[in-house]
Amino acid sequence: MSSELVLITGMSGSGKSVALHALEDLGYYCVDNLPPELLLSFVDLENKLKAEKVAIAMDVRSHGALPLVPAQLTKLRERNINIRLLFLECNTDTLLHRYSETRRRHPLSQGLDKSNNSPNALGPVLRNLSESIELERELLADLREMSHIIDTSLLRRSKLQSYIHSLIGAPAAALTLMFESFAFKRGIPVHADYVFDVRMLPNPFYEAPLRELTGLDEPVAQWLSEHASVQAMGEQISQFVSNWLPALDEDHRSYVTIAIGCTGGQHRSVYLVEKLAKEFAKHWVTLKRHRELGE
């Protein structure tokens, strides 16, 4: 029986193919657009073939059968298969731009209108790109709630591959912590479980010698470490996370993302992510990401 299954869903154009290629690099047997009706029989087949790591991508083209997936996953877990659910998210503006560049047709741009209130029930319907994207969000909402969300809106292809490698490279049975720095001016990470605002802390940006540096540089780290308010914020975030991690672990969570934001995502949030990731790595599987630094 396959010991590990990664199920990838998400918005069309969000990078599911890139994620599958990254998993291939990690030794997974990958299948794209598997119909949900075939999930259990496919896993049975891989069991006979002694496959240990399998990755499957499902998308909205199978939306009629997607409600079957939760019950199927329950049955697979009863077989002691480690399952990781990844949902690739992307904001609408970025999706519109990507579709404009590729000139591809959205999979929901045409189909059947099954609305009870429609005068053309079961008749053909054409949708513009924005309508198709919003309908897709509705159809995938339940799977999104079950999954670890990866926002690819600001991720280049190479960075998404690197992110997948780090995420899936962590032990499957362990709770994995992701500490992520970001800039509020570019939006809150949609996949964050907890968000902390540190914009009220002293800002190295206003110190000329430190302005072009980042929280990864020793002069910035030293400057911030000398401020009691910065240290107090770090201790309070650490205490909050520490208090709730045991409960999250008992709830069989696979990933917990702690996002820390400042104005530019360059100094304060980066410093605190580095500090906290180092601290929690002593006892938990811990990853870190600096969104605005491309790391």
Structural element, H or E, at residue 66: none
pTM of the model: 0.74
The residues spanned by each domain of the chain are 4-169, 176-293
- Residue 251 confidence (pLDDT): 77
- Residue 108 confidence (pLDDT): 87
Chain centroid, CA 262 distance in Å: 21
Homologous superfamily (CATH) for 4-169: P-loop containing nucleotide triphosphate hydrolases (3.40.50.300)
Strands 285-290 and 29-32, sheet pairing: unpaired
- Residue 172 confidence (pLDDT): 61
pLDDT tens over the chain, length 295 residues: 447 899 999 999 999 999 999 999 888 999 998 988 899 999 888 878 888 899 999 988 776 778 888 889 889 888 888 889 999 999 999 999 999 888 888 988 876 554 444 444 445 678 899 999 999 999 999 899 889 899 999 888 888 988 898 888 776 667 889 999 999 999 999 889 999 999 999 999 999 999 999 999 999 999 999 999 999 999 999 999 999 998 888 876 778 999 999 999 999 999 999 999 999 999 998 999 999 998 7
